[in-house]
Every structure is written in structure tokens, then in C-alpha cells.
Structure 1
Amino acid sequence: MNQSNAVGRLNRLPISRFHKITLVAVSFAYFFEFADVNTFATTAPKLIKLWGMTVNQIAYVTSLSFVGMFIGSIVASWIADRWGRKNALTLTTVWFGVFSLASVFSWDLVSLGAFRVLTSAGLSAMTVVAVIYVSEIFPAAVRGKYQAYAIVIGICGTPATNLIASLVVPLSDWSWRLVYLWGALGLLFVFFIRHLKESPRWYESKGQPERADEVLREIEALVSAEKGPLPEPVAVVQTSTPGKASLRMLLQKKYLFPTLLLSLMWVTQTIGFFGYSSWAPSLLTKQGFTVESSVFYVALTTVGAPLGSFLAALVADRFERKWSLVVFGTAIAVSGLLYGLTFNPIMIVAFGFLVNMFERGYTAVAYAYSPELFDTQARSLGTGISYGLGRLSNAVGPLIIAALYNGTGYQSVFIFIAATWMVGAIALALFGPKTRGKALLGATPSEPAART
């Protein structure tokens, strides 16, 4: 018998101050993750002039950063399983903040590239842990919505970074370093640590129901003090024993298919999104736009990102997630293609706005969808592997884009990006499992379904 019943006890909790503080903490980490992921892209046009960087060198730095993301995702899944979701979230957020700070003091392309690889490892690792943490802490009925809310707040880091970069990068030959200093403010996450609770589901997965019960009692006391007496939880019977997650486990039939499907989803998302966001400022500069105007245009387009995440919050728990992903992916492909076919500044901003809006909606829903395809035992490893493989794919993505640009021109880059998004949308339409209204798989098969 499950002594702690984390599933039933967490799912019957009303949203309270505890949940809202948790949301703010995760959103803060997301904010500086999204702020930091674009810092190299926003400073690259300046470094082309200062250090004489070429398109191919930008491609190599970007590619190596995604190798770092892959390593970070794999390590994150191990840390989250071994040391807990809360500790892993803290460690990974501090990690990327430290190496963003180190980037401020880089002295050439090699040193900056090395710091960016280490920063990227932390960024990807934090994302994997945050996705899992939210899915395990929030009630089943609203976890999709609150995953999206975290992105709504967090994604504001993207336009904030671009707008800051557009102001400070042109000031002098050293002011680009301030962009990396901005990204390092993620270190302030440490002030949230004392307000967070470890996931009771993680304790259960480690065979520690007493520790799970202790944390559940703390959470229940906080919620009941604010909301009054709590309803009785639905009893859940444990039907499997805790075990150690291993790579071999993902070869089992029930884990292999979701791992492959999610890997494809994250591969197309990674190449499609970062192929656009990492290259847009530099490619516009190559097409004759000034550094200042290219960075400013891209900054304006990223204003659509928070709106896309808010849109995801509206649809995440209302419509089937796989079909939301298909619609978003198709809309991104069309908008991105039109972006590449125009050189009119107004149209560049308009279609770029749509790309950012639909892409952030896609990502927010994907963050909710990914952990739902695994049970607690495999959730960290399966999410980390599939997300990491997606990030690893972009080790070759920038090289493909550089080859396309150098070989056949600007517009071929956006045709390739649009085709990538369509591959992901078609795969999800044909093979994606439905998760709306279904339980988040735990050590049990009987978690109450989310209310819709």
C-alpha cells in the first residue's frame, strides 16, 4: 500500500499561495534561461565587426553550445533522479548564471565559445528539471495551464534581452559584455530556495514514503491555513515497486515509443526555432541591414513570445495537447516561410512576431506534453534524453544553415526551417498519443484524471 499517496493528496489541493510562490520561482529561472539563450545571437553582429567573426565561426559556436545542451539534459536527468527535483533545479540555475558571468570576461572567440558551451549545458539542464518539477507539484487538473503560465512570465526574458542588447551593444566596443552580465542575474534564484518543497513523488519513487508524507503534510498545512479544510484525497494503490532508472529501461516497449516520438518533436523544435532565433540578427546584417536595425527588428518580433505562451495557457487544458502542437507547428512553418520571402521591415517584424508567438505557444504546450508520456520512474530520464537529443541535433543545424546560406542564399534558410516544423507537426498528428484528461503516470495507473 502506498503510505503517502502523493498523487491523491496533491491533486485535491486548491491553488494557493504555495503554488503561486512555486510558479514565481520557476518562472524566474525560466526568465533568465530565455534571457541567456539568446545572448550570443544578439552580440554576434557586433563581434563580427570587432573580432572579424565569419558566418561559419558563428555556426561552430552555436553548434558546440547545443552539444553542451545535450550533455546538460542528460546530466540533469541523473541529478534530478539522484538528488531530487528541488536540488537539481537550484544547481542547474546557479550553474548557468555562473558561466554567463564568466562570459563577461571572455577575451576572444575561443574563450567566449567555451563559456557559452558551459552556460548552455546549465540552461538545458534547468529546463528539463523545471518541466518535471511543475508536472509533479501542481494538481493534474491545471498542470498544463501552469506550465504555460511559467513560460508566459519566463519568456519575457527573450524580448527583455533583445531590447537591452539593442540599447547597450551599439554604445561602445566593450558594452556588448553587459548583455552577458544581464544573463548572469539568474544567480538571484537562490533567494527562492527556502520557499520550495521537494517533490513528494520523487521521494516515493526512491522508496521513501515517510519523507514524502512529511513534505505532503507541510504543503497541506500551508494550503489549509489559507484555504480551510481540505477534501479527502482519492486513495491510490501502488502497483509497482520503486526502481533505479537506466538507459536500458528506455528500450522497453512502453518507454521506447514515447522517447522516439518526443525526440523527433524536440529535434524539429530545436532546429526550427534556433535556426530562426539564433540566426535572424546576423542574416539580416548580411543582407545589408545595419547592426542596430537588425537587432532592433528582432527585438520587436520577440514581443510576440509572451502572447504565445499566454495563448498556450488558454488552450493547454482545454484542447487535446497533440492537436494544439500540430496547429502551432503548422502556423510557425507558414509564418517563418513568409518571413524569409520579404525584405520589407514592417513585414519582417510582423511575420517574425507571428513566428515568436506561435513558437512559444508550441514550446509551452510541449513542456506540458513531454512528461505526461512517462511514469515517475522514467519521467526524468525519458524527458532528459528526448529533450537532450533535440538539443544535440542543433549541433548540425547551424552548419546546415550556414551551408544553405553560403550555397543558395538567404531564402533557402527559411524554406528549410519551415520544412523542419512541418515534419514535426505531421509526426505528432499521425503518432502522438492523446493526454488530455488522462492521468499523469506515476508509480500507479489510477491517478484521477485531470478535469477539463
Structure 2
Amino acid sequence: MQHSNAANRLDRLPISRFHKITLLAVSFAYFFEFADINTFATTVPKLIKLWGVTVNQVAYVTSLSFVGMFFGSLIGGWIADRWGRKNALTITTLWFAVFSFASVFSWDILSLGVLRVLTSAGLSAMTVVAVIYVNEIFPAAVRGKYQAYAIVIGICGTPVTNLVAAAVVPLTDWSWRLVYLWGSLGILFLLFTRHLTESPRWHESKGQYEKADAVLSQIESRVAAEAGPLPEPADPVAVTTRQSKAPLRLLLQKRYLVPTVLLSVMWVTQTIGFFGYSSWAPTLLAQEGLSVEKSIFYVALTTVGAPLGCFLAAQVTDRVERKWCLVVFGVVIAICGLFYGLTFNPIMIVVFGFLVNFFERGYTAVAYAYSPELFDTRTRSLGTGVSYGLGRLSNAVGPLIIAALYTGTGYHSVFYFIAGSWLVGALALAVFGPKTRQARLIDPPVEAPTAPTTA
């Protein structure tokens, strides 16, 4: 067998129980990924009082966490290429869960900071793998919608975690540790693993056509048992040689360099913009005079908008060109973020914070679907990991800039900076972003070696 025809065989499948279980498993991993992203931000106001932590120390921990995310993205992509998408998803989810559990026992800001860097690396690695896995398992016509549905469920981890923090952090001087214990429950992802299959596209990209065919046959039998006889797939694109491993220098080729640079800009501005709000809002509100309890509670209320924004993305991502969704959402986030930062009225904080979370999570859901579409199977893990990792790495500088702006020119300047980041990303996508609505995850054929000619 020279081709398992994975793309066409997967794309003609109706959505079935197999897809829904896969969606639930990925959503569970996302839930605790989003939960763990916010644990440090929600406990910092308490640690400032208990340990005498300064704003600059918060900035350094947050900054180094994004360095961890950069390396985690690269490692996640490498694991996904080397050991498969399913194994990588399991490894990376366990990774962040274990280090979140270890954070429960931290004794000062240095120990907690080290564990946060390691946790963050796992969070970023898991995100890269999950984005790739959903894009390769679900049919092309609806992959954006189901990527967004996974985020709809997963993003609930943000408001739930903030509400958990609002309830437990004020209780005692040690109860903040329960927030990290909560984040470690991602380890329960192990309960889902036996229901998942490896990506046939990954097997195919490695030249393992018999394994790809076996997985496809298993998926098809499960779907057919539920939906009845399946239509015949389209004819395969001829592949006659095994695709070689994608070296990092491959991204320097024009075909891959342009999308890598564009996506890096997109993820840089999204990272600074999103974490500028989520990581700093509780701390800055507390520094400006609101009580720790109120600052955490207000931010918890604003994050209720997050799952609703993902649901909006699920409705539009396969109907409207993805790049224009991202452009519009980015501009709206910038405007709402400015109003959020220019008021101390509790109602306005909640309203505009809600809108920021609503549109930002919709933006991220669409971006998760958009990013892998700009690469083929051979470079999908590499390109997605590098661009997403560079975005996260950029926020090694972002918190330091925010801390400098806050201490140097005041609270409002932080939000001007964050809004500007969103506008830069929107402009880059509007001018340089390719259209992908009609694109399909079908790789170009690999040419067979040319036989030598004789005179």
C-alpha cells in the first residue's frame, strides 16, 4: 500500500460519537490548561501580603513563565512529530498537571516561580499538540467549528478557576495552595486516553501506511455502526516516498517563512494582549486600592464572557473567512480594553472586562483553527510550535514592559500598550493574512525519485 488516503477518508465522515468523545477529551485537557494559566494571577494578590512579593517579582515570574512556554511549544511539536499526536497530548497534559501539583508545596516566590516556569512549559506544549490533533482528526469542512467547541468547553476553566480562587484564597493564610491543587486535576485526562486514536495523517506522514489504514478502518467501522454505510472517499493524491523529518531550517523556505512570520506576529500580539489583561488585572486593581477579594471577584465575573466568545467563534469560523474574523475581533478587543483600563467603576470594569474576554476567547478559538491550516502535515507541528512558541516567548519581555509602564507612567499607560498590541496584530492579518476558508488539509504529493538515464 502506497497511500492510505487519510485526508479524504476522514473528510467524508459524518460527525459521530467517535468525534464527540475526541472533542470531550481535548476539551477536558483545555479546561485544565486554561485553569492553570490563571492560577498564579489569582494567588498573587494574597502572596504580596503574605510573602511581601513586589510587582517587579511578579513581572519576573510571569516573564520567565513565557520563556518556559516557548521551549514547551518547541518540545510539544517535537514530541508530536516523534511519538505521535495522541501520545504527545497525554504526555504534555500530565506534564503541566504534575508541576501544578508540586506548586502546592512551594515555600517562597523563588520555588513557586521555578515550578510555574515548568508548569507553563507543559501548558504551551499541550496547546500546540491539541490544536494539531483536532485539525487532523476532524473533517475539513467543520474543523474550525469543532476546534472552537473544544475551546467553548475548555475555556470554562478560566471563570471556574477564578471563582474557586475567589472562594478559597481569602479563607486562611494557606488556602491559596488549593488553587494549584485544583489545577493539577488535569491528570484525570488519563481516563480518556483509551478512547482516543492516533492521527492517521501522522502515520501517513511517516510512511506508515498500513498503520494509518488500520486506524482509519477502526474509525470508519465505529462511525458506520452509528451512521450507516459511508460514501466512497475521493481518490488519493499519489505519494510514492516517505516524507523525511522536517528540519528547523525548512521554515526558512519562502513557502513556510511567510506564514511562520505572520503567525508569529499574530501570536506575539495575542499573547501580550491576552496575558496583559488576565495576568495583571487582579494585581493592578488591588494595587490601585481595590481589596484583594474584590479584585479577584471582579475579574472572575469578567471571565464569564470567555466561553460565550468561543461559542460565537464556533458559529462563524467555518462560515466567514477566518482572517477577517481575527481582524474584526482584534480591533474590538483593543477598543473594549481601553475602556476597561480607563474606569474604576465596578460595573464598567465588569462590563468591559466581560467584552474583552468575550472577543479575545473568540479570537483565540479562530486562531487555533487558522494556524495549522497554513502548513502541510510535514511542517504542521514544526511551524505551529515555532510560531506559537515565539508568541509566548515575546511575553518574557511583555510583563517587564507592563511593570515599567505602571511604575513609570501609571495604570492607564498599561492599557494603551495592550490595546496597541492588538491593533498591530489586526493590521498584520488584514494586509498579509492568506485566506483559508476553502483550504483542506491535503498535503502536496511527494515526488518519486527520478530514475537515472543512460546514454
TM-score range, shorter chain: over 0.9
Instruction: Provide the aligned C-alpha RMSD in A.
Output: 0.9
Residue 453 of structure 2 corresponds to which residue in structure 1?
A: none
Question: 1:236·1:444 contact (CA, 8 Å) conserved in 2?
Answer: no
Give distance in 2, aligned partners of 1:44 and 1:2.
56
**Within the alignment, does 1:169 sit opposite 2:169 as a pair?**
yes
What does residue range 300-339 of structure 1 map to in structure 2 within 5 Å? 300-339=301-340
**Residues 382-416 of structure 1, C-alpha deviation per residue, up to 9 Å, x if partnerless?**
00000000000000000000000000000000000
Give the drift of 1:237: 1.5
**Residues 135-173 of structure 1, C-alpha deviation per residue, up to 9 Å, x if partnerless?**
000000100000000000000000000000000000000
Say which SS state the counterpart of residue 395 (structure 1) adopts: coil
Question: 1:13·1:230 contact (CA, 8 Å) conserved in 2?
Answer: yes
Question: 1:265·1:424 contact (CA, 8 Å) conserved in 2?
Answer: yes
Residue 343 of structure 1 corresponds to which residue in structure 2?
A: 344
Give distance in 2, aligned partners of 1:8 and 1:106.
50
Amino acid at match of 1:353: F
Q: 1:138 to 1:214 in 2, by over 3 A?
A: same
Give the drift of 1:238: 2.7
Give distance in 2, aligned partners of 1:128 and 1:431.
23
**Residues 171-207 of structure 1, C-alpha deviation per residue, up to 9 Å, x if partnerless?**
0000000000000000000000000000000001101
Question: 2:3·2:238 contact (CA, 8 Å) conserved in 1?
Answer: no
Give distance in 2, aligned partners of 1:380 and 1:430.
25
Residue 263 of structure 1 corresponds to which residue in structure 2?
A: 264
**Within the alignment, does 1:134 sit opposite 2:134 as a pair?**
yes
What does residue range 276-291 of structure 1 map to in structure 2 within 5 Å? 276-291=277-292
Question: 2:327·2:430 contact (CA, 8 Å) conserved in 1?
Answer: yes
Give the drift of 1:444: 4.2
Q: Given the two structures, how large is their TM-score scaled by the length of structure 2?
A: 0.97
Residue 158 of structure 1 corresponds to which residue in structure 2?
A: 158
Give distance in 1, aligned partners of 2:344 and 2:240.
58
Give distance in 1, aligned partners of 2:234 and 2:124.
35
Say which SS state the counterpart of residue 422 (structure 1) adopts: helix
Give distance in 2, aligned partners of 1:116 and 1:285.
22
Q: 1:258 to 1:32 in 2, by over 3 A?
A: same
Question: 2:141·2:318 contact (CA, 8 Å) conserved in 1?
Answer: yes
Give the drift of 1:248: 0.7
Give distance in 1, aligned partners of 2:237 and 2:380.
19
Amino acid at match of 1:355: V
What does residue range 366-445 of structure 1 map to in structure 2 within 5 Å? 366-444=367-445
Give the drift of 1:236: 1.6
Give the drift of 1:441: 3.9
Give distance in 1, aligned partners of 2:300 and 2:139.
35
Give the drift of 1:243: 1.3
Q: 1:132 to 1:139 in 2, by over 3 A?
A: same
Give distance in 2, aligned partners of 1:286 and 1:184.
29
Give distance in 1, aligned partners of 2:338 and 2:104.
35
Residue 448 of structure 1 corresponds to which residue in structure 2?
A: none
Residue 449 of structure 1 corresponds to which residue in structure 2?
A: none
Give distance in 1, aligned partners of 2:126 and 2:43.
23
Amino acid at match of 1:262: L
Q: 1:441 to 1:234 in 2, by over 3 A?
A: closer
Give distance in 1, aligned partners of 2:277 and 2:358.
13
Give the drift of 1:223: 0.4
Give distance in 1, aligned partners of 2:222 and 2:35.
32
Give distance in 2, aligned partners of 1:274 and 1:2.
46
Say which SS state the counterpart of residue 4 (structure 2) adopts: coil
Amino acid at match of 1:190: L
Residue 92 of structure 1 corresponds to which residue in structure 2?
A: 92
Give distance in 1, aligned partners of 2:134 and 2:414.
35
Greater displacement, 190-199 / 236-245: 236-245
Residue 40 of structure 1 corresponds to which residue in structure 2?
A: 40
Give distance in 2, aligned partners of 1:103 and 1:192.
25
Question: 1:267·1:389 contact (CA, 8 Å) conserved in 2?
Answer: yes
Give the drift of 1:12: 0.4
Say which SS state the counterpart of residue 234 (structure 2) adopts: coil
Residue 102 of structure 1 corresponds to which residue in structure 2?
A: 102
Stretches of 4+ aligned residues off by more than 4 angstroms: none
Give distance in 1, aligned partners of 2:240 and 2:49.
60
Question: 1:205·1:443 contact (CA, 8 Å) conserved in 2?
Answer: no
**Residues 6-56 of structure 1, C-alpha deviation per residue, up to 9 Å, x if partnerless?**
011000000000000000000000000000000000000000000000000
Residue 452 of structure 2 corresponds to which residue in structure 1?
A: none
Give the drift of 1:439: 1.4
What does residue range 220-235 of structure 1 map to in structure 2 within 5 Å? 220-235=220-235
Greater displacement, 91-100 / 233-242: 233-242
Amino acid at match of 1:392: L
Give distance in 2, aligned partners of 1:151 and 1:319.
18
Give distance in 2, aligned partners of 1:353 and 1:265.
22
Residue 300 of structure 2 corresponds to which residue in structure 1?
A: 299
Give distance in 1, aligned partners of 2:10 and 2:107.
50
Give the drift of 1:443: 4.4
Give distance in 1, aligned partners of 2:434 and 2:239.
23
Unmatched runs of 5 consecutive residues or more in structure 1: 446-452
